[in-house]
């Protein structure tokens, strides 16, 4: 299946991060690099383009599997945001999960998430999932709407 995975995090201070996930050579999903940071997340097209860019990277990239306990994939990200752990980072963050599919009929799925904190993590709110075409403006508008539903 030819698809990519990204998520969008709205920080308590208003910054928006678009994270890219890639497959490793064993088929697992891992966080890849630092996030895309849209210049203006209130601009649906700019936000949507960052999401689409992240999905294209996700689809096109496979990384070697490694010992993730010794070399956590979120280590560079946590250092970048200045958080000692992912549990600390999650506090007050609203999250949206985005899947992008290119096979069959190309489409994007946008799913708001509830923030269950360190114990539960981010949980998809599937009842609010929307399906749309590969359009930057539509993707951005759908992510903005999902962020309103997502819980911090």
d(CA 53, CA 120): 29
Q: What is the pLDDT of residues 87-126, one digit of tens each?
A: 999 999 999 999 999 988 899 999 999 999 888 899 999 9
pTM value is 0.94
Judged by DSSP in three states, 88 sits in: helix
Dihedral, CA of residue 21, residue 23, residue 28 and residue 31, to nearest 10: -30
Residue 1's pLDDT band (boundaries 50, 70, 90)?
low
Specify the residue for token string 């995975």: 5
The fold for domain 3-149 equals: NMB0488-like fold (3.40.1590)
């Amino acid at each position: 299946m030819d698809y990519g995975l990204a998520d969008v995090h709205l920080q308590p201070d208003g910054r928006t991060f678009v994270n890219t996930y890639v497959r490793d050579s064993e088929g697992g999903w891992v966080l890849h690099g630092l996030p895309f940071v849209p210049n203006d997340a209130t601009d649906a097209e700019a936000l949507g383009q960052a999401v689409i860019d992240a999905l294209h990277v996700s689809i096109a990239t496979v990384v070697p599997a490694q010992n993730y306990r010794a070399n956590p994939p979120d280590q560079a990200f946590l250092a970048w945001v200045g958080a000692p752990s992912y549990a600390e980072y999650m506090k007050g963050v609203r999250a949206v999960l985005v899947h992008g599919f290119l096979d069959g009929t190309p489409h994007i799925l946008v799913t708001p998430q509830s923030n269950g904190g360190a114990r539960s993590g981010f949980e998809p709110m599937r009842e609010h999932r929307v399906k749309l075409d590969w359009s930057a403006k539509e993707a951005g508008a759908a992510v903005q709407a999902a962020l309103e539903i997502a819980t911090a």
